[in-house]
Amino acid sequence: MHKQNEILGHGLALLSIVIWGTTYVSTKVLLAYFSPVEILFIRFVIAFVLLYLLYPKPIKVDRKDQWLFMGAGFSGITLYYLLENIALTYTSASNVGIIITVAPFFTSILAVFFLKEKRPNLNYYIGFVAAMIGIGFISLPGAKVSLHPVGDLLAMLAALAWAVYSICIRKLGQLSLHPIQMTRHIFMYGLVFMFPFLWFMDFDVQMQDFQSPLVLSNLAFLSVGASALCFVAWNHAVSMLGVIRSSVYIYLVPVVTLLSAAWILAEPLTPSLLFGACLTLVGLYLSQTNK
């Protein structure tokens, strides 16, 4: 039974990463109609409503557990996405893509201190280095590396916010709540914390913005697939695998993005990109194994 749960956990984590790695296409389409904060708010409102309709049962937890829900909603929904979007206005997408994948390293440190989990073995850190080098080959093919302190710091803070979210999810997973119920409650707090930012971040959504089938289809993908489905699957995977083993799947996001760009946008696959993808996969394998 334990082995089956572990296989299911890996499958759910992989499913989430595959979908998250392709969201840039839909986001790029929607940016012609909405601002980043508008896309963020709309997708999570739709996702929250969908999860509520699927599982409307009220949640009953202690006050101290409500703080965990608030922490998860603020760090993983509001803070992570806002920091990432703002970082993109100050630094390159390549820099953000590389820095965000440091999240598993932050997660492992926080898990050791706050969850008392076993310190990762040497393979984990070798895999981390290999994955980061591979991601560098993917994100910076032939480009000159340049630092943008403000944007790069914001991206680093976004990675740290995701690590905090992972710790909260691991603790919430011990409450034996239904995955949809737990994720729905997290989304609620994420939207509550998002409200203040709407006033000064150019939020102006009009009904005519939703008349295009292209807009509706991409919003459906981001809200139903990338938000409702993926967060439920990811949160369940974290409860099955633990935060350290599940978090390393984040290394795959640039690889999925690379392959989807080649498939959907017909972008070329150069030897450098393929080498980076293979090295990232090796890093993921090393991080998951004790051999």
Section 178-193 average pLDDT: 96
Whether 46 has a pLDDT exceeding 80, the answer reads yes
pLDDT of 270-284, one tens digit each?
Answer: 888 888 888 888 888
Section 44-66 average pLDDT: 93
- What are the residue boundaries of the structural domains of the chain, listed by start? 2-288
pLDDT of residue 188: 97
The pLDDT mean for the chain works out to 87
pLDDT of residue 223: 96
Whether 1 has a pLDDT exceeding 60, the answer reads no
Higher pLDDT, 199 or 169: 169
pLDDT of residue 142: 56
Section 90-114 average pLDDT: 83
Section 204-212 average pLDDT: 85
pLDDT of residue 6: 86
Whether 139 has a pLDDT exceeding 80, the answer reads no
pLDDT of residue 2: 67
Higher pLDDT, 185 or 254: 185
Whether 97 has a pLDDT exceeding 60, the answer reads yes
Q: Within a 13 Å sphere around the CA of 5, how many CA atoms are in the beta-carbon half?
A: 8
pLDDT of residue 30: 87
pLDDT of residue 159: 92
Section 26-44 average pLDDT: 87
Task: Say which range, 150-159, 227-236, 248-257, 260-269, has the weakest mean pLDDT.
Answer: 260-269
Task: Say which range, 33-42, 146-155, 241-250, has the weakest mean pLDDT.
Answer: 146-155
Section 116-124 average pLDDT: 85
pLDDT of residue 201: 80
pLDDT of residue 53: 96
Section 214-223 average pLDDT: 94
Whether 45 has a pLDDT exceeding 60, the answer reads yes
* pTM of structure: 0.87
Whether 54 has a pLDDT exceeding 80, the answer reads yes
pLDDT band at 207 (very low <50, low <70, confident <90, very high): confident
Whether 289 has a pLDDT exceeding 70, the answer reads yes
